[in-house]
């Protein structure tokens, strides 16, 4: 009886190790709204699953009617607008963007006089609201610009590939050993992307032409 129990336990352990050490590549790939894999270093629009709730993600260079530099990353209030184009640059040489790899997010070139870097960052992800907003001015392969995408846990539309964004500082350098979910934080009618908020922002990829 003892030998039978030990054998069954050993088989169970081997099964667990085997299933966890051979991940499915198809589950790691990110897909756009057309069902195609998201490419590394290629521009995409980021938009909500239901566009009636707002438009795509974009940059703004004003806050409280004053010019700012670097820019803030926000959701366009108009559902007909796709927003800006953003490039996901992996820290590893891969053709496609994968959920298991960290990356930097690069914005389209600024049109104003701001000379800050176009990479996204959060200066202090553990800070309170309005101090943990996503801005440009980041540096590639650094803790404050270390993002990743994961599957949205409960998609609004099950057949649509929707995702959520996280900032994971310790993956790229010194920083909190946790990942921060990115949500929408509203202030004076503007929806900012930030590491605070009750519900992570659910979005889809749409390849830019």
What is the distance between the alpha carbons of residues 199 and 209, in angstroms, rounded to a whole number? 31
Better pLDDT: 130 or 132: 132
Residue ranges and CATH numbers for the domains of the chain are 25-207 (2.80.10.50)
Q: What is the chain's alpha carbon radius of gyration, rounded to the nearest angstrom?
A: 20
What is the distance between the alpha carbons of residues 136 and 153, in angstroms, rounded to a whole number? 28
pLDDT in the model for residue 25? 32
pLDDT in the model for residue 11? 32
User: 3-class DSSP state for residue 53?
Assistant: helix
pLDDT in the model for residue 37? 96
CA 24 centroid distance within chain: 21
Q: Tens of pLDDT along 69-107? A: 999 999 999 988 999 999 999 877 789 999 878 999 999
Q: Tens of pLDDT along 142-196? A: 999 999 999 999 999 988 999 999 999 999 988 888 999 999 999 999 999 999 7
pLDDT in the model for residue 175? 83
154: left (phi over 0), alpha (psi -120 to 50) or beta: beta
Range of 5-19, 26-40, 117-131 with top mean pLDDT: 117-131
What is the distance between the alpha carbons of residues 165 and 158, in angstroms, rounded to a whole number? 18
pLDDT in the model for residue 101? 85
Mean pLDDT on 14-31: 43
In degrees and rounded to multiples of 5, residue 71 shows phi and psi of: -85, 160
């Amino acid at each position: 009886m003892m030998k039978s129990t030990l054998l069954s336990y050993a088989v169970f352990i081997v099964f667990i190790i085997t299933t966890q050490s051979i991940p499915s590549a198809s589950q790691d790939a990110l897909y756009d709204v057309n069902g195609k894999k998201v490419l590394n270093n290629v521009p995409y629009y980021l938009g909500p699953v239901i566009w009636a709730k707002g438009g795509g993600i974009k940059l703004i260079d004003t806050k409280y009617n004053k010019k700012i530099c670097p820019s803030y990353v926000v959701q366009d209030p108009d559902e007909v607008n796709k927003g800006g184009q953003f490039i996901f640059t992996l820290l590893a040489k891969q053709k496609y963007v994968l959920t298991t790899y960290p990356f930097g997010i690069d914005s389209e070139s600024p049109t104003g006089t701001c000379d800050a870097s176009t990479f996204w960052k959060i200066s202090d992800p553990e800070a309170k609201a309005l101090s943990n907003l996503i801005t440009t001015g980041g540096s590639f392969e650094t803790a404050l610009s270390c993002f990743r995408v994961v599957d949205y846990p409960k998609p609004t539309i099950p057949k649509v590939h929707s995702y959520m964004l996280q900032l994971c500082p310790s993956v790229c350098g010194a920083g909190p050993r946790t990942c921060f979910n990115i949500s929408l934080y509203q202030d004076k009618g503007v929806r900012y992307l930030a590491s605070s908020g009750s519900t992570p922002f659910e979005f889809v990829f749409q390849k830019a032409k």
